[in-house]
Structure 1
Amino acid sequence: MNYVSAENLTKSYGIKVLFENISFHINEGDKIAIVAKNGSGKSTLLKILMGKEIADSGTAIINKDIQVVLFDQEIDYDPNLNIEEFMMTLDSKPILALKNYHKSLHSTDNDFIEKALADMEAHKAWDLENEMKQILSQLKITDLEAKMGTLSGGQIKRVALAKLLTETRAEHRHTLLIMDEPTNHLDVDMVEWLENYLTKAKITLLLVTHDRYFLDSVCDIIWEMEDGNLYFHNGSYATYLENKMIREDNLNATIDKANNLYRKELEWMRRQPKARTTKSKSRIDSFYETEKVAKTDTRKQGLELDFEMKRLGNKILELKNIDKSFGNKVLLKDFSYQFQRGEKVGIIGKNGAGKSTLLNIIQGFEKYDKGEIETGETISFGYFAQKGLTYKEDERVIDFIKEIAEFYPLANGKSLSASQFLRLFLFDDQTQYSPISKLSGGEKRRLHLMYILYQNPNFLIFDEPTNDLDLPTLTVLENFLQQFQGSLIIVSHDRYFMDRIVDHVLAFEGDGKIRDFVGNFSEYREAKSREDALEKNTVVKPEPVKETISIPETPQSSNTPKRKLTFKEQRELETIEKEMPELEEKRAKILDQLNNESDYEKIAGLSSELETISEKLENHEMRWLELQEAL
């Protein structure tokens, strides 16, 4: 089934062409990722498909039988609604049935109550309510009474994500799910859950993400937007990179030929008299086409840098027995670490574990409760925080960078101009002379990052640098950091980025415990999984009956006579004691399956099976108590 057909779409803002005459189709079951640098028009294309923007020319036809839902970077919400009320603002029949059912709980109108229950059954709203709560739980949203206006930015995005995923399940119709950077503000456990959910879900997906592991796991088609064109790649992220390299190699060969022809044609153009004949017009048109190809720049990331970093002394940074708590919450407990020259350390842990607090303590922005910190005299910190860029109104990009210095020093005695450094980070000449206020959100974040690096620090501290950065910029940043000779601390949930850069992990494991692990992010996760599995297998399980029935023994009076069970009752008791642990095990397995299942029909079947087993287990427990009392 065809969902979307677009033909010859063109969109410009002023003289900047985002894309020109692009055509594509989206079919049922497609899972597509869009890859492009910030400012190329990714978000604009998504808004055109949503009907929020209009293309300059071309057509985009959306099948009338599908619904299109968008997870955007900007969330609209009423701050006075609590989380449950916000979730119930969905416009669908199952949600309406759920709202009427909740009203019926406080109603005395029997007709209304009967209709509410009938609608719950007809629209399978019982299952939807169960799945909604599971999604919220997986995204660490537990207090449904909390007002939206009291939540952090990250919490609001997680609630909005839960609402979107619920919406795709609420209507039993064809849905195109459009997601713009869904993994921002999610910790690793949440990202892996969402990855698993979208991989299993029978949905059609159009996705913008910088998380390459997430992209590889969820999507099997990649659209590459570059220089106003749209290129299609079937397969993995590695396949896309290989195809892109081949295309650019071929284009570079064409450019070399065009340069030779361009020089010859330029000589001919200069010799031509002003009054040109009709006969020469075709050659003049050909000249301009050749000039366009010859001036194409495909070697955007080919510059190798040998940095002249500010000198690092023998003493870098040492933390000794640091304690830090907020009330009863312990973030750091007796933490000690000595940073080495050239060390690249990744800091990982759940949201709120204390990662950003540690960064602030290191730089003196926040006081610690106990301990000592020694910082080398030659240390120059470069701190990339999550807060936005500060700039003057109408200040141009090039002037903003030149405020630091005109040139960036290289180790060979040479230097890069501010303009050359900007080009390294994908700011073309036109963008360099544009006001910062005209940049997209991602471009501003890229400029902020470049601003930090251009100051030439010798100790870099990055707090979630990959949020809102595009994949081309991440590639440039990774290449830069791999060559960086100073010390580096990174807090990030981007698994690919961490695996490529860090050689050492400090893992916040809760209650102030920070584990020192030599290796990259994935190696730490694998080691932790093995340890957790081993610990689980070595736990001594209690006796089945005691595990199942946690009821204290009823004191028996010494005068209370005890009777023997009949043969039939004895056999019944033995059967119950044998079956109860089996039912418990089945129930646990179904709950685990429900937490990891996203197919609606399977969830409905598992829920029904869970209800049957729970009822049988409850009957067994009651009968077991009766037989025990009989003794």
Structure 2
Amino acid sequence: MNFLSAENISKSYGDKKLFENISFGLEQGQKVALVAKNGSGKTTLLDIITGKDTPDTGSVAVNNNINVAYLSQDPTFNESETVLEHVLKSDSPILRTVRRYEEVLDRQLTDTSGKALKDLEKVTAEMEELKAWDAEARIKQILGVLKIENLHQKIKELSGGQRKRIAMAKVLIDEPDLLIMDEPTNHLDLDMIEWLEQYLVRAKLSLLLVTHDRYFLDRICDEILELSDGTMYRHKGNYSYYIEKKAERESMEAASVDKAKNLMRKELDWVRRMPKARGTKAKYRMDAFDDLKEKATSGKREDKLQLSVKMSRMGKKIMELKNLDKSYGDKKILDDFNYIFKRKERIGIVGKNGVGKSTFLNILTGKDSLDKGEIEYGETVVFGYYSQQGIELTEDKRVIDVVKDVAEVIPMADGNNLTASQLLQRFNFPPEQQYAYVSTLSGGERKRLYLCEVLMDNPNFLILDEPTNDLDLQTLSILEDFLEEFPGCLLVVTHDRYFMDKLVDHLFVFEGEGKVTDFNGKYTDYRDIQEEKEAEEKRLEKERKKQEKEEKPVAPKAEQKRKRSYKEQKEYEQLETDIEQLEAEKEELNNKLNGSVTDHAELMQISQKIGEIIDLIDEKMMRWLELDELNG
């Protein structure tokens, strides 16, 4: 069934043409990613699809029989609403009833008249009638995972990150047939991202998403739409397959353009030598020359972001942290933390939202104070701090003036000096864009300008707080290449698992209550060990319960739990075997999904099968728990 059709869509802003006559569609069950460079029009295209913007030409048709939800980068809210009112605002009778149930529960805590109790009895009956308890449990799970705890807080009191998570909860709770998401992993911690990844893999919905998270792309999407130079390219398969096919396509295009350029040189020589009197007789040749010229100059100008700024010399002593303590009220961020930084260290910082990762970076750079402890800095250390907040850019200022405010001339790693204009060209700001106003820049272009400003100080100790947000995949790849070769120290906070795995050697794990553990390895290594620990803890807990039952004194018959029947015992044992087999099958399918399978139909089948297996595991696990409660 067709869910979405876009036909001959074009959009321009002034002289800037984003895309022209692009067409694509989305079928039921497809999970598609849209990728493009910053400023190419990804968000504009999503806004057009969802009716928030209109195309210059073309049309978009969305199936009238489906429910569509859109998670935008900057969700809009009714500021006077509470969290509960927003996330459960719906035409669904079930969701409306769950909302009333939660409101009455809260009112009952302070009501002394008895009215709330009567209302609770009434709404509980409605919950029973609509069989809404499963929906309530699912809603509580989504809100719990996304750390949305105070349901009665006003939207106007929330931070930007909290707002994005509430918008996320809203679209997931609505259970749409078609879900459109623009950078869904921004403002989520790593645990939330991994949960969302699994949720979307198993969810029976169609998906169109924009994200820079390559692991996320690779594991969820079975098709990639690439918007490049105003043209749409379609790639069946996951992100790894897309990268392979894109490289093949660009190689073929480059070879074709090179051939056309060689032919054009010969034709150009002929055109220059052609006698004017014979011009009318050679008109066909002139027309062919014009066609050839167009092809020879059609090669994409890949404005590669070049990061090669000079690094300040670094001495032997870098930075030493001595007995650092930091708290906010009752919340402890650091508790007697000690560390000596060494040359060329590459450290990733991980931990749940709110444990103090950004505070730690602010302490190191002197933007925040310590309660106790001391930081000794080496004399040659020059920090480059890329913070989440970025720089305050004046909207009516030109791009080149932002750079000139820092320096007119910038020394580079190769010994040359660059003007502000030349530096901006290396950061993929062509001359025509350098004199554009900051207000015209996309989110990713603003972040690129900020990165340029940070590196202009020639740092030898880079501190990056969520540098991947809003950057396109091409810029991310080049930034990673630069950081791999960067000879100084690197300290990075990021929710991009691919970025972290590629760049860091070890981790500072913020576990909460001021505890920070130094883990020697990459993020994927850390997660593997954590999963093994969790599995072992579950096994030990199961053994402990079993042992307690065996050691428990025999109670009088009236108090004894019913024993499992022979049939139930056989079912109990079979369930254990079934669950193990299903887990193994799920693991095998996940490996296939992340491996060599490129066929679109097969990828869709695998994704659907994984969702069915997870549902089956949950069902069998519930039955196993029921039987486990009985005495064997």
The two structures have a TM-score, normalised by structure 2, of 0.82
Q: Distance in 2 between matches of 1:268 and 1:455?
A: 52
User: Given the alignment, which residue of 362, 370, 381 partners 1:368?
Assistant: 370
The alignment status of 1:513 with 2:515, answered yes or no, reads yes
Instruction: Name which of structure 1's ranges 474-483 and 433-442 shifts more when overlaid on structure 2.
Output: 433-442
- Paired with 1:526 and 1:6, the residues of 2 have a C-alpha distance of 42
Q: Note if contact 1:347-1:505 (Cα within 8 Å) is conserved in structure 2.
A: yes
Instruction: Determine whether 1:129 maps to 2:166.
Output: no
Map 1:587-606; keep pairs closer than 5 Å: none
* 1:275 Cα deviation after fit: 11
What residue in structure 1 maps to residue 343 of structure 2? 341
8 Å contact 1:398–1:419 — kept in the other structure? yes
Spell out, residue by residue over 1:460-484, the C-alpha distance to the aligned partner (whole angstroms, 9 max, x if none).
Answer: 1111111121111111111111111
Are 2:252 and 1:245 equivalent residues in the alignment? no
SS of equivalent to 2:392: coil
Q: How many Å separate the matches in 1 of 2:272 and 2:438?
A: 39
Whether the 8 Å CA contact 1:425–1:473 is kept in 2: the answer is no
1:537-595 Cα shifts (integer Å, max 9, x gaps): 556965669789x9xx9xxxxxxxxxx99xxx63x65554789xx99999xx99xx9xx
The 5 A counterparts of 1:139-288 are: 139-168=146-175, 175-267=177-269, 283-284=285-286, 286-288=288-290
- 1:266–1:349 distance in 2 versus 1, CA, 3 Å: same
1:62 to 2:62 alignment: yes
Which residue is 2:332 aligned to? 330
Please say if 1:25 is aligned against 2:32. no
Using the TM superposition, name which of 265-274 and 215-224 deviates more.
265-274
Rounded Cα–Cα distance in structure 2 between residues aligned with 1:87 and 1:190: 18
Q: Provide, for residues 285-311 of structure 1, a one-character-per-residue CA deviation record: whole Å limited to 9, x for no partner.
A: 554444444344546376876653111
Equivalent pair of 1:301/1:476 in contact (CA under 8 Å): no
* Distance apart, 1:341 and its partner CA: 1.8
CA 1:45–1:463 in 2, change beyond 3 Å: closer, same or farther? Answer: same
Name the SS of the counterpart of 1:168 in structure 2: coil
d(CA) in 1 for partners of 2:430, 2:204: 41
SS in 1 for 2:49: helix
1:517–1:288 Cα change, 3 Å: farther
| Counterpart position of 2:600 | none
Query: Residue 595 of structure 2 aligns with which residue?
Result: none
1:544-583 map, 5 Å: 570=557, 573-576=559-562
- The whole-number CA distance in structure 2 between the counterparts of 1:259 and 1:299 is 15
Cα deviation, residue 167, structure 1: 0.8
| Structure 1 counterpart of 2:360 | 358
1:529 pairs, out of 524, 528, 531, with 531
Please name the residue that 1:466 is paired with: 468
Distance in 2, Cα, partners of 1:252 & 1:152 = 47
Matches for 1:391-406 after TM superposition, within 5 Å: 391-406=393-408
The SS at the match of 2:175 is helix
Contact persistence 1:300–1:423 (CA under 8 A):
no
Alpha-carbon displacement from aligned partner over 1:45-87 (angstroms, at most 9, x marks no partner): 1111111222111222222222221001122222332221222
* Structure 1 unaligned spans of 5+: 170-174, 554-563, 622-631
Report the residue type matching 2:479 in the other structure.
Answer: L
d(CA) in 2 for partners of 1:512, 1:422: 42
Note the 1:378-393 alignment, pairs <5 A: 378-393=380-395
- Aligned equivalents of 1:65, 1:477: Cα separation in 2: 44
1:313 matched to which residue of 2?
Answer: 315
> Which residue is 1:443 aligned to?
445
2:164 and 2:572 map into 1 onto residues whose CA distance is 36
Aligned CA RMSD, in angstroms, stands at: 4.2
Q: Secondary structure at the match of 1:66?
A: coil
Amino acid aligned to 2:440: K
Per-residue deviation, 1:181: 0.6
Superposition deviation, residue 94 in structure 1: 2.6
1:557 equivalent in structure 2:
none
Match of 1:430 among 429, 432, 449: 432
Question: In 2, distance between residues paired with 1:25 and 1:137?
Answer: 35
> 1:270 Cα shift?
5.4
Which AA in structure 2 matches 1:38?
N
- For the residues of structure 2 that align with 1:387 and 1:67, how far apart are their CA atoms? 35
Aligned pair in 2 of structure 1 residues 38, 124: CA closer, same or farther (>3 Å)?
farther
- Larger gyration radius, structure 1 or structure 2: 1
Q: Could you tell which deviates more after superposition, 11-20 or 123-132?
A: 123-132
Instruction: Check whether the contact 1:309–1:456 (CA below 8 A) recurs between aligned residues.
Output: yes
SS at match of 1:437: helix
* Deviation at residue 417 of structure 1 after TM alignment: 5.0
Give the alignment of 1:105-124 within 5 angstroms.
Answer: 120=127, 124=131
Q: Assess if the C-alpha contact under 8 Å between 1:300 and 1:426 holds in 2.
A: no
Residue 42 (structure 2) aligns with: 42
Shift of 1:281: 5.8
Equivalent residue of 1:21, what SS?
A: strand
Paired residues of 2:202 and 2:612 also in contact (CA < 8 A): no
* Counterpart residue number, 2:14: 14
Counterpart Cα distance in 1 of 2:104 and 2:314 = 70
Change in CA separation of 1:208 and 1:487 when aligned onto 2, cut-off 3 Å: same
* CA–CA separation in structure 2 for the residues paired with 1:611 and 1:508: 37
Q: How far is the alpha carbon of 1:403 from its aligned partner?
A: 3.7
Q: How much does 1:529 deviate?
A: 3.0
Letter in 1 for 2:19: F
Alignment partners' CA distance in 2, 1:129 and 1:584: 29
Contact 1:322 1:372 (8 Å CA) reproduced = yes
Alpha-carbon distance, 1:362 to partner: 0.8
Q: How many residues align?
A: 589
SS at match of 1:198: helix
Q: Work out whether 1:95 is the aligned partner of 2:91.
A: no
| CA displacement, residues 172-226 of structure 1 (integer Å, 9 cap, x when unaligned) | xxx2110001111111110000000000001000010111111111111111111
Cα deviation, residue 609, structure 1: 10
8 Å contact kept, 2:308–2:482 = no
Q: Structure 1 residue 487 and structure 2 residue 452: aligned? A: no
Gaps of 5+ in 2: 109-113, 584-607
| 8 Å Cα contact 1:406-1:418 kept in structure 2 | yes
Question: Once the two structures are superposed, what CA deviation does each residue of 1:400-441 show, in whole Å capped at 9, x if it has no partner?
Answer: 224434554344433555445434433334323322211112
2:484 is the alignment partner of 1:456: no
Inter-partner Cα distance in structure 1 for 2:120 and 2:321 = 64
Contact kept in structure 2, 1:389 and 1:445, CA below 8 Å: no
Deviation at 1:33, TM superposition (A): 0.6
Contact 2:572–2:627 under 8 Å retained in 1: no
Partner Cα distance (2:302, 2:7) in 1: 30
Q: Give the 3 Å change call, closer, same or farther, for CA 426–306 of structure 1 in structure 2.
A: closer
2:500 aligned partner, one-letter code: M
**8 A contact 2:94–2:130 mirrored in 1:** yes
Deviates more, 1:475-484 or 1:266-275: 266-275
Query: Does residue 81 in structure 1 map to residue 81 in structure 2?
Result: yes
> Does the Cα contact within 8 Å between 1:499 and 1:522 map onto a contact in 2?
yes
